[in-house]
Amino acid sequence: MPAFKTLDDLNHIAGKRVLVRVDLNVPVSEGRVTDATRIERVASTIRELSDKGAKVILLAHFGRPKGQPVGDMSLSLIASAVEDVLDRAVFFATDCIGAPAEDAIARMNNGDILLLENTRFHKGEEKNEADFTAALARNGDIYVNDAFSAAHRAHASTEGLAHHLPAYAGRTMQAELEALEKGLGNPSRPVVAIVGGAKVSTKIDLLMNLVKKVDALVIGGGMANTFLAAQGIDVGKSLCEHDLADTARKIMAEAEGAGCSIILPVDGVVAREFKAGAANETVAIDVIPSDAMVLDVGPRSVEKVNDWITKAQTLVWNGPLGAFEIEPFDAATVSAARHAAERTRSGQLVSVAGGGDTVSALHHAGVAEDFTYISTAGGAFLEWMEGKELPGVAVLSK
Ligand SMILES: Nc1ncnc2c1ncn2[C@@H]1O[C@H](COP(=O)(O)OP(=O)(O)OP(=O)(O)O)[C@@H](O)[C@H]1O
Ligand SMILES: O=C(O)[C@H](O)COP(=O)(O)O
């Protein structure tokens, strides 16, 4: 793992202005934050810096306002949720640069916490413009990046600032990078990856990268159908990207060349309707009725997946094995999740998972707390699984 500085390297910071990039891009409904996980994840960094007497100045984006102020994307809507999580006062400035920011910072006492308005209200943020970055940098002495989930963006507040100020990884960034290193960087073997979800098309780069890194790749969910169809199996009315048959064959050939076992379903739970409680039956994968669709992998397949989880020392998971939102098609995902959780609890498995639906599925199975690490990142986690360099991480290690 590339070396980077952490908060352990930051001493004597009382009175210093620390610009902390956090990810406050949280779901909001009717003015209320409906999931504060991302805020909870950055709380330890904020508290630690504040306890050391730093003036903690939070930088974040919210939504995609495209370089201009948009009312319902104001971080003023999130400030009280940050206060609730921290149980400390959080001041707010109506702009992240210029007089509003400077005046608010001038009023700060040591240990105070200030949230600056959405960085994406300025065009310079996403363009990583030199003038805008310099304007942000003028408000700080030190830069801490605690937003792994925004580190795939080379923006002023996620990348540019590290060229202007001494740069450090916050506690969440540090934990995420350490967990990901255990997952794919330098993992204990065998490493098994489970990739599921709806479509192959959104995960081609990810699959191509994984077959080079893992010992076994379990393919489930809707995307398994594309692989099965590419092998000449009739998948009936199942979700299937027939035009990606060549891509699927290429991924399988790459896997063979790299010595990675591809584990495809050998049976499936099929139904005629995509709805909870729909009449269903379990069939062998080569006799899928032409008017039915596979909505979950079957029990024999789950047994195979669980055998691989038993053999594995490391598990990386993105995408559910079936349509887990509608019962009973959650069965395979729940079974594999619980088995992985049990192995993790007993210290025999390092388990790392990410992806919005994946995290929901693990919560649904009641085991999200038991995994070694659950990433709150969406795009950044996927790009990491694709083997891409994340600009916000790369710059910290320079
Ligand atoms: N056999 C199937 N047929 C149809 N849809 C399926 C099937 N198996 C899984 N899915 C769907 O795949 C979706 C989840 O896949 P996705 O790739 O989006 O997961 P993710 O990467 O964890 O989530 P996100 O994209 O939100 O980060 C779910 O909505 C689920 O219903
Ligand atoms: O929600 C996310 O995944 C991050 O906050 C990044 O947001 P973005 O996709 O709008 O850059």
Q: What is the CATH number of the domain that holds 126?
A: 3.40.50.1260
- For residue 94, give Cα distances in angstroms to 76, 97, 102, 156, 334: 8, 9, 11, 18, 45
Q: Are 156 and 285 contained in the same domain?
A: no
Q: How far is the CA of 293 from the centre of ligand 2 (A)?
A: 33
Q: Are 163 and 257 contained in the same domain?
A: no
Q: How far is the CA of 160 from the centre of ligand 2 (A)?
A: 17
Atom 21 of ligand 1, residue of closest alpha carbon: 355
ipTM: 0.94
Q: Does residue 151 carry a pLDDT above 90?
A: yes
Q: Are 128 and 197 contained in the same domain?
A: no
Q: Is 249 annotated as a binding residue?
A: no
Q: Which atom of ligand 1 is nearest to the CA of 354?
A: 22
Structural domain containing residue 91? 7-172
Cα 59 to Cα 147: distance, rounded to the nearest angstrom: 10
Atom 8 of ligand 2, residue of closest alpha carbon: 150
Q: Which atom of ligand 1 is nearest to the CA of 268?
A: 1
- For residue 324, give Cα distances in angstroms to 100, 125, 196, 294, 359: 47, 38, 11, 12, 12
Q: Are 166 and 204 contained in the same domain?
A: no
In a domain, 179, yes or no: no
Q: Are 198 and 168 contained in the same domain?
A: no
Q: Are 11 and 37 contained in the same domain?
A: yes
Q: Which positions are annotated as active-site residues?
A: 38, 199, 356, 379
Q: Is 171 annotated as a binding residue?
A: no
Q: Is 355 annotated as a binding residue?
A: yes
In a domain, 180, yes or no: no
In a domain, 2, yes or no: no
Q: Which ligand is nearest to the CA of 332?
A: 1
Q: Are 215 and 162 contained in the same domain?
A: no
Residue 2 pLDDT level (bands cut at 50, 70, 90): low
**Domain limit, last residue, from 172, 195, 229:** 172
Convert the pLDDT of each residue in 342-358 to its tens digit. 999 999 999 999 988 99
Convert the pLDDT of each residue in 68-78 to its tens digit. 999 999 999 99
Q: Are 332 and 373 contained in the same domain?
A: yes
Q: Which atom of ligand 1 is nearest to the CA of 358?
A: 22
Which residues have CB under 6 Å of ligand 1?
196-198, 221-222, 239, 294-295, 318-320, 322-323, 325, 355-358, 378
Q: Are 196 and 339 contained in the same domain?
A: yes
Q: Are 232 and 345 contained in the same domain?
A: yes
Q: How far is the CA of 121 from the centre of ligand 2 (A)?
A: 15
In a domain, 264, yes or no: yes
- Average pLDDT over every residue of 142-161: 98
Q: How far is the CA of 123 from the centre of ligand 2 (A)?
A: 16
Q: Is 6 annotated as a binding residue?
A: no
**Domain limit, last residue, from 142, 172, 202:** 172
In a domain, 107, yes or no: yes
Q: How far is the CA of 171 from the centre of ligand 2 (A)?
A: 19
**Domain limit, last residue, from 145, 172, 199:** 172
Q: Which ligand is nearest to the CA of 326?
A: 1
Three-state secondary structure string covering the chain: CCCCCEHHHCCCCCCCEEEEECCCCCCEECCEECCCHHHHHHHHHHHHHHHCCCEEEEECCCCCCCCCCCHHHCCHHHHHHHHHHHCCCCEEECCCCHHHHHHHHHCCCCCCEEEECCHHHCHHHHHCCHHHHHHHHCCCCEEEECCHHHCCCCCCCCCHHHHCCCEEECHHHHHHHHHHHHHHHCCCCCEEEEECCCCCCCCHHHHHHHHHHCCEEEECHHHHHHHHHHCCCCCCCCCCCHHHHHHHHHHHHHHHHHCCEEECCCEEEEECCCCCCCCEEEEEHHHCCCCCEEEEECHHHHHHHHHHHHHCCEEEEECCCCCCCCCCCCHHHHHHHHHHHHHHHCCCCEEEECCHHHHHHHHHCCCHHHCCEECCCCHHHHHHHCCCCCHHHHHHHC
Contact 270, 293 (CB under 8 A): yes
Convert the pLDDT of each residue in 325-381 to its tens digit. 999 999 999 999 999 999 999 999 999 999 889 999 999 999 999 999 999 898 999
Q: Are 367 and 296 contained in the same domain?
A: yes
Q: Is 182 annotated as a binding residue?
A: no
Residue 398 pLDDT level (bands cut at 50, 70, 90): low
Q: Are 230 and 259 contained in the same domain?
A: yes
Number of domains in the chain: 2
* pLDDT attached to residue 258: 97
- Average pLDDT over every residue of 205-222: 96
Contact 189, 205 (CB under 8 A): no
Q: Which ligand is nearest to the CA of 150?
A: 2
Ligand 2 pocket, mutate which of 22, 23, 24, 25 (most atoms under 8 A from CB)? 25
Q: Which residues pair with 350 in a beta bridge?
A: 314
In a domain, 289, yes or no: yes
In a domain, 181, yes or no: no
In a domain, 396, yes or no: no
Which residues have CB under 6 Å of ligand 2?
23, 25, 64, 149-150, 153, 378-379
| Mean pLDDT, the chain, whole residue set | 96
